[in-house]
Structure 1
Amino acid sequence: MRIAVIGGGPGGLYFSYLWKKRNPEDCVDLFEQNTAGATFGFGVVFSDEALEFLRADDPDTVDAIAPRMESWENITLNLRGESIAIDGVGFSSIGRLELLTLLQQQAHGVGVAPQFDSPLHSVDQLADYDLIVAADGLNSMVRRAFEGDFGTSLCYSSNKFAWYGTTKRFDTLSQTFIATERGTFNAHHYRYAPEMSTFLVECDRATWQAYGFAYKNGDESKAICEDLFADTLGGRFLVSNKSAWRSFPWVWNEHWSFKNMVLIGDALHSAHFSIGSGTRLAIEDAIALVKALEAEAHVATALARYEAERKPIVQKLVTAARTSADWYERFPEHMKLELMDFAYSYITRSGRIDDARLRAMSPGFMAQYEASRNKA
């Protein structure tokens, strides 16, 4: 079989590697419009659960990336100068570029040579391929060309965010919420390398407008954020990498394939950064697609199986992500709560964690929370 993979991000690289490793006689060509070292953003996060899922299917990849990852067991919330730790929430992170480099090495190791600086403008250029895997991200050329056939829907969250990095090292995945005279901000920050951290700044649209960010250039916006979070940054600077203000895009496709074309990763769906990594979902999509293709003799049947088996799982995750994003749309209101009530609201925001699960998962935090409720 001849397979064209569009997009050299984690999803495209991982599918190419996994398929070629299992089917060395097949032709797998990967096309990426950017250079090998180009990437947007800084660190990416995997929950312990996500890593275990990946290990069950591909322990070699986990063994390759695990030594490069930063890990922790708590989430820390900072509000009004106070902090609270929520125990038992395990995560690991790695630099996005480092992850891409490792996946590129794996792809080369099984005989896939990604073609960088190779933008495609039409699927007509791929007429000789039996299967086209569109892993080309939120602005997918394949999806946009056939959005009616894929049943594409697209909308945006009202909050604004800018994704920075910093040399400040944070011990855990942390959230810092601050109030100013002109509005409220939240920073999501965590280390992804021994000396580097992600620092994502978020605010509601009213605050974004009050600060005039629409009329600020990149350096001006960065300087404002450095000043706002000076205490959190401990005097360190923010690092920019295409760190423009954005609204989070919600992408969904009712149909996951059309003819011999199939979508994976952000080309197919998006999940809010507050609940999980799009990288994780893209890799899991790749695993599911490989399994479906190996289980069926015909491409069309395999693509139908991929959608039927994977779609219900993704729908649950996306529903939880939307519920989580809704909480962030109202985080200025939640900031009025007492610290323990605020933390409880935060950790239960997706609707997937009830009190029983929280007691088992985070016994230290839950003991504190229930003690505070009893005093009240």
Structure 2
Amino acid sequence: MCVKVACVGGGPAGLYLSILLKRQDPSHDITVHERDPEGSTYGWGVTYWRELLDRLHAHDPESARAIEDASVRWSDGVAHVRDLSTRHRGDEGHGIGRHRLLEILAARARSLGVRVEYDHEITGRGIPDADLVVAADGVRSALRTRHADHFGTDVRAGRNPYIWLGTGKVFDAFTFAFVETEHGWIWCYGYPYSRERSTCVVECAPETFHGLGLDRATEADSLALLEKLFAHVLDGRPLIGRAPAEAPAPWLTFRTLTNRSWSHGNLVLLGDAAHTTHYSIGAGTTLALEDAIALAGALRAHDALPQALAAYESERRAALLSVQSAARYSAQWYENLPRYIDLPPEQMFALLGQRHSPLLPYVPPQLYYRLDRAAGRLEALRRLKRRLGHRLARTAQARTLTSRE
């Protein structure tokens, strides 16, 4: 049966869903409606990890190969605190420019026969006529807002202001830099997304934000101050904003969005329209793409739309529980930075990596660090014991076979 699908929002979730549905059945009539002109997007680069790339290869190898080829990689994490630095080896991370990611997904969707209509805004009152309408129009979703009472939308603002910037400094690792000012701490997260640029997210407590005058500064003045504060990690490279130089700098506070229900009739929420997780865990794009995979799978497995949408929501809610918990604790770690910042850099960086733990806020930091190290040594001993056990078993088996011969 040919199904007509209208996907409102041309971000990663909406475009990838259209690709998967077309691959499942080329006869599906699918249109992606994007309100912005083609080539315009917010943000700089997005991060993801090997597990997502493996899933993309499993569901659409062609777009996965293009995404992998356009990505940069790193495996180290670096933390700069005052004049001290520490570096650790970690899992391989990937970065890709958001603009390039959307370009790849849009081209792949079109090659499969999806109509991608740019500069075409769908408001809450102009829902397209389709068998399935997908609200992939972000945290401010007009389609969700029209039925906010049904969806049970809840939005909670975070405490710390942050700003999303680019830079010509290409970091060789996922980089954290914490700078102490007379008004408190300010910090940045930096990671590469191409061979020419990196993303740089700057965050601070409200007291620092007001004390430094960032609440009153223009874009140009904000960038000049931040370049001075983070000169030691930027190597003199400028920061790049998106607002006009004389306009107010676009500082935000993160909004955690949840919904009591994810569907209403033939309308279903996808990606940031359904849920958000704090940017400090770098999972937004991954979760959006995983939503698309789950929704496509549910539509393939169930003939009736209500059952398919219920199965999709159930699967994704269960998958999100641990991620949303990690995001909450990660945000709280930064909001309580003074609790950790004076630890020795090695310990501070170790607890930065443990910021998702629900125990960490309730255990003295140095005690938590010692317990975590002890647990790590015990696990290493368990792994060594298992390896030695397997090796001794193989040796004994070989001796037995030899004696029988």
Fold shared per TM-score above 0.5? yes
Equivalent residues of 2:123, 2:143 under 8 A apart: no
Cross-structure match for 1:299: 305
1:125 deviates by 3.6
Equivalent residues of 1:87, 1:362 under 8 A apart: no
Taking a change above 3 Å as real, the CA distance of residues 361 and 71 of structure 1, as seen in their structure-2 partners, is: farther
Cross-structure match for 1:157: 158
Candidates 268, 272, 275, aligned match of 1:266? 272
Taking a change above 3 Å as real, the CA distance of residues 351 and 278 of structure 1, as seen in their structure-2 partners, is: same
Distance 1:362 1:157 in 2: 38
1:356 deviates by 8.3
Cross-structure match for 1:371: none
1:343 deviates by 1.2
Cross-structure match for 2:251: 245
Cross-structure match for 1:309: 315
Equivalent residues of 2:53, 2:68 under 8 A apart: no
Distance 2:335 2:163 in 1: 15
Query: Deviation per CA, 1:258-277, whole angstroms, max 9, x where unpaired?
Result: 11111111111111111123
How is 1:265-284 mapped onto 2 (pairs within 5 angstroms)? 265-284=271-290
1:41 deviates by 1.1
How is 1:1-376 mapped onto 2 (pairs within 5 angstroms)? 1-126=3-128, 128-242=129-243, 244-351=250-357
1:154 deviates by 0.2
Distance 1:167 1:360 in 2: 43
Taking a change above 3 Å as real, the CA distance of residues 359 and 149 of structure 1, as seen in their structure-2 partners, is: farther
Cross-structure match for 1:367: none
Gaps of 5+ in 1: 364-376
Aligned residue pairs total 362
1:361 deviates by 11
Aligned-residue Cα RMSD (Å) equals 2.0
Distance 2:380 2:102 in 1: 33
Distance 2:179 2:271 in 1: 33
Distance 1:195 1:133 in 2: 35
Cross-structure match for 2:395: none
Equivalent residues of 1:89, 1:362 under 8 A apart: no
TM-score for both structures, normalised by structure 2: 0.85
- 1:11 alignment partner, SS class: helix
Taking a change above 3 Å as real, the CA distance of residues 219 and 125 of structure 1, as seen in their structure-2 partners, is: same
Query: Deviation per CA, 1:140-169, whole angstroms, max 9, x where unpaired?
Result: 011111111111110111011111111111
Distance 2:380 2:42 in 1: 33
- 2:115 alignment partner, SS class: coil
TM-score for both structures, normalised by structure 1: 0.92
Indicate the structure whose relative CO is greater, using CA pairs within 8 Å and at least 6 residues apart: 1
Query: Deviation per CA, 1:99-135, whole angstroms, max 9, x where unpaired?
Result: 1100111011101121100011235442x21111010
Superposed structure 1 runs of 4+ greater than 3 Å apart: 352-363
Distance 1:149 1:357 in 2: 46
Equivalent residues of 2:124, 2:145 under 8 A apart: no
Equivalent residues of 1:183, 1:207 under 8 A apart: yes
1:49 deviates by 2.4
1:194 deviates by 0.6
1:212 deviates by 1.9
Taking a change above 3 Å as real, the CA distance of residues 262 and 109 of structure 1, as seen in their structure-2 partners, is: same
Greater shift after overlay, 27-36 or 333-342? 333-342
Distance 2:325 2:232 in 1: 35
Taking a change above 3 Å as real, the CA distance of residues 145 and 249 of structure 1, as seen in their structure-2 partners, is: same
Question: Residue type matched to 1:112 in 2?
Answer: V
Equivalent residues of 1:250, 1:271 under 8 A apart: yes
Distance 2:346 2:10 in 1: 43
User: Identity of aligned pairs, percent?
Assistant: 37
Query: Deviation per CA, 1:241-297, whole angstroms, max 9, x where unpaired?
Result: 246100011011121111111111111111111112311110000000000011101
Distance 2:375 2:57 in 1: 24
Question: Residue type matched to 1:278 in 2?
Answer: G
